[in-house]
Amino acid sequence: MIKTIYALVEDAEKADGFLGALRWTASAYQAHTTVHVLTPLPNFMPALAPLGGIYMPEAVLQEEGEAELGHVHRLLKHTDTPFEIVGFQDDMAWLSGTVKRHQPLADIVMVGTAESWEVDRLRWRVVETVIGTAGCPVLLLPPGRSFSQLKHAVFGWRSSPEARRALHDLTSLASPGARIDVTGVSEAAAADEQTQCELNEVCAYLHRLGFNASSAHLQDGRVAEALQVCTMECGADLLAVGAFARSRMREILSGGVTHDLVRDARVPVLLSR
């Protein structure tokens, strides 16, 4: 059940589509929404962020932050559910820490994909922070997509505590009797015996909860890409996975499923840890 939503935006103008989807979602669930609007110091070369920050007088930065708040308020003011908008202005290097200290209790965190943020490095740091500290699932929402009734999901399975957490989060959000496609991905032509047993066990668990579950194995070395393509081709409402099943440092240095999905989510992605 979703009754409290926490959302994060940076560039309010770029986030127009995301904020429209947020408004729709809040209305569908009749949920209270808190939006944190982050305004980082300008950067002479965003690709180097958080390095390269340009000094800006506090009054000027605050004025820019208030303009962003005003834009968000105009987009949400006709929402038929209560909402709260809070702004934070600081150097980009410190904003993720600000998010960690001030994030409210929520049932779900919603963040737009890269198209709705000006500084993608800030977005990565913020998403990484809330995945690890919010205590609830994080939903990445691409432009033009909303989230209301969850009737069909693809669940990416790889045995880990994070995947088990994602499974519980998914079942708490899915509509009764929803279809859930439990999907494993590897370079092998077929799932090995151990993996197939795990897929069957997950399906049996979902059946006991009243869901319409089936399992599948995809042969592909690019796990994140294969799961997203599967989600798009079967018309599912979202893809759910466990986040950072490998260490976050390894994800940053050598990539991984979480890293790839956060960088390039083309379908709604539910991340749990």
212-265 per-position pLDDT tens digit = 999 998 887 789 999 999 999 999 999 999 998 655 555 454 458 999 999 999
Helix (H) and strand (E) counts in the chain? 9, 10
**Tokens 């083309």 found at:** 266
**Tokens 């997203």 found at:** 228
Domains (range + CATH), the chain = 4-141 (3.40.50.620), 152-272 (3.40.50.620)
Phi and psi angles of residue 106, each rounded to the nearest 5 degrees, phi first: -155, 160
* pLDDT per residue as tens digits for the range 10-65: 999 999 999 999 999 999 999 999 999 998 876 544 555 455 455 556 665 677 77
Answer whether 0.85 is exceeded by the pTM.
yes
* pLDDT per residue as tens digits for the range 149-194: 899 999 999 999 999 999 999 999 999 999 999 999 887 767 778 8
Which pLDDT belongs to residue 40? Answer: 85
Which pLDDT belongs to residue 165? Answer: 97
CA distance 183 to 204: 14
- Parallel/antiparallel/unpaired status of strands 83-90 and 32-40: parallel
Which residue, 221, 218, 216, is CA-closest to 187? 221
* pLDDT per residue as tens digits for the range 177-186: 999 999 998 8
Buried b (16+ CB within 10 A) or exposed e, 230-260: bbeeeebbbbbbbbbbbebeebeeeebbbbb
**Tokens 């939006």 found at:** 35
